[in-house]
Chain A
């Protein structure tokens, strides 16, 4: 198999349903499974494997509890709670932190991105700062944040927000840089001021890119959540998982992981919906 063929096979697996057909297949028109169906089968297979290994006693419940235990735990925690808070309270605490961080990171990240994309000076100032912050894992700067800001709620939000600023700023900058030259020329030749050009041409142009940045940032935010809730939290999904791990309550750990995944997925869908409403023209123009 040549490299190209291998690449092709890999791409076919990864391709979403409505993807551009880069290599149309000339095969006979035999009925093919859509990638969505294949995804559903994959998930079912994973669930089945999970059920089997636990049922057959191949893995002790301490390491991997059976799915029905996790589900049962979900209901218990949802109704009675775990460590002084119900699942909804844990969830709301985490969601509140992630969303507060998103708002803060957006308010900071978009102007920074605008400065990087639109001005030489802005790029000179902020590029090294972002490049410095971006690769640092949240757990590494967490201690410093605690020393500086203590263990309150704002420190937790700050840890998450720091992880979110770079993706938002960089996506904004790339959106700003990719504004069609003709559109800028058109606005300028109509006599628009610099301010008007930025507000009515540059920002709307960059909006699809900014929204992509928000999506990436939300992902980064959830990733950072557990680290942020390491410190002096009394509520939150990350806190719940860690406490459960300390008492070896593995079913709560697994349940917590699944809940985080589900919430992140719902938020992703929500942002995609916002994208369709806000920038229906993206990709069609």
Chain B
């Protein structure tokens, strides 16, 4: 079981007086679902990009099982809010690209990509051009592409941010289903308070100016889902409602009303 560790990360973008993130430490174990949340501009995405290796921190270190990372890598697959799909490829070829990069032969790629598309509930849509797909479908292709890398960690930057409410709920259960077997460590950025609580085994609240971790707590709702309890019954639990109000308070703490 691997662990992704960020220790004392500081990131400063050139030309910015204040660091985007300062003194942030965090770890994600395989089987964990860590949610980063907080107000706009608090450095959530920056921290995630540092974990991905797409942003190089000014201070601090990102490591996997004690070994410092060297840039981006397939062990930490990324799902982007913009979906970042390749429109010149069909849905299947987008997924197969990740397999090709791993050196998997053409015939196997085809079958594996189909299997991955089935996992994200896009069965039989492999030939569809991605630019003809809806936002939810595209995000699922992006998810299948990330899974094709067979990562230990899945890093998702507001993957559901641009989706409508109904699609979003479906995607939440899909993400839970993918995480539930326990062999993936997930780090996800979201603005959604309810989403953070429902999905996270741990919720990390960040605060801005400079971006830092303000609060981190364990949440058990996603484990209850993994154990078989339906989402509706979890959301109806008064404990969920209370936790939701507390999380909202924590996120907006210190913000002038």
Contact = CB atoms under 8 A, between A and B. Distances in A.
A190 B145 contact: yes
Contacts of A7: none
A186 interface: yes
Contact of A189 (B77, B100, B102): B77
Interface in B89-105: 97-98, 100-102
Interface in A177-191: 180, 182-183, 185-191
Nearest to B52: A189
Contacts of A196: 100-101
B73 interface: yes
Contacts of A180: 82, 84
A161 B237 CA distance: 73
A285 B142 CA distance: 15
Interface stretch (A59-67, A126-134, A210-218, A276-284): A276-284
Nearest to B157: A182
Contacts of B149: 190-191
Contacts of B88: 204-205, 207, 279, 281
Most B-side CB within 10 Å, residue of A182, A190, A207, A280 = A190
Interface string B224-256: 000000000000000000000000000000000
Interface of B: 52-54, 71-74, 76-78, 80, 82, 84-88, 97-98, 100-102, 129, 131, 142, 145-146, 148-149
Contacts of B82: 180, 182
Interface residues of A, number: 23
Contacts of A192: 97, 101
A187 B97 CA distance: 9
A201 interface: yes
A185 B78 contact: yes
A149 interface: no
Contact of B86 (A188, A191, A193, A200): A200
Interface of A: 180, 182-183, 185-193, 196, 200-201, 204-205, 207, 279-281, 284-285
B84 to A, nearest CB: 4
A188 B71 contact: yes
20 contacts: A180-B84, A183-B85, A185-B78, A185-B84, A186-B80, A186-B85, A188-B72, A189-B52, A189-B72, A190-B77, A190-B97, A190-B98, A190-B145, A192-B97, A196-B101, A204-B88, A207-B88, A281-B88, A284-B87, A284-B131
Given A186-B80, A281-B88, 14 more contacts: A186-B84, A186-B85, A187-B101, A188-B54, A189-B76, A190-B146, A191-B73, A193-B101, A196-B100, A207-B88, A279-B88, A281-B129, A284-B87, A285-B131
Contacts of B86: 183, 200-201, 204
Contacts of B84: 180, 182-183, 185-186
Contact of B97 (A182, A200, A205): A200
Contacts of A281: 87-88, 129, 131
A284 B74 CA distance: 29
The 9 closest A-B pairs by CB, nearest first: A191-B74, A281-B87, A182-B84, A189-B72, A186-B84, A204-B88, A281-B131, A285-B87, A189-B78
B128 to A, nearest CB: 12
Contacts of A207: 88
Contacts of A190: 74, 77, 97-98, 101, 145-146, 148-149
A75 B9 CA distance: 79
Nearest to A201: B86
Nearest to B82: A182
A284 to B, nearest CB: 5
Given A190-B74, A204-B86, A284-B131, A182 B80 contact: yes
A160 to B, nearest CB: 30
Contacts of A188: 54, 71-72
B186 to A, nearest CB: 15
A279 B88 CA distance: 7
A191 B72 CA distance: 7
A185 B131 contact: no
Contacts of B53: 189
Given A180-B82, A185-B54, A201-B86, A191 B102 contact: yes
A284 B54 CA distance: 27
B76 to A, nearest CB: 7
A284 B129 CA distance: 12
Contacts of B78: 185-186, 189
B176 to A, nearest CB: 23
Contacts of A285: 87, 131
Contacts of B76: 189
Nearest to B102: A191
B73 A189 contact: yes
A50 B72 CA distance: 67
A279 B149 CA distance: 27
A196 B98 CA distance: 11
Nearest to B138: A285
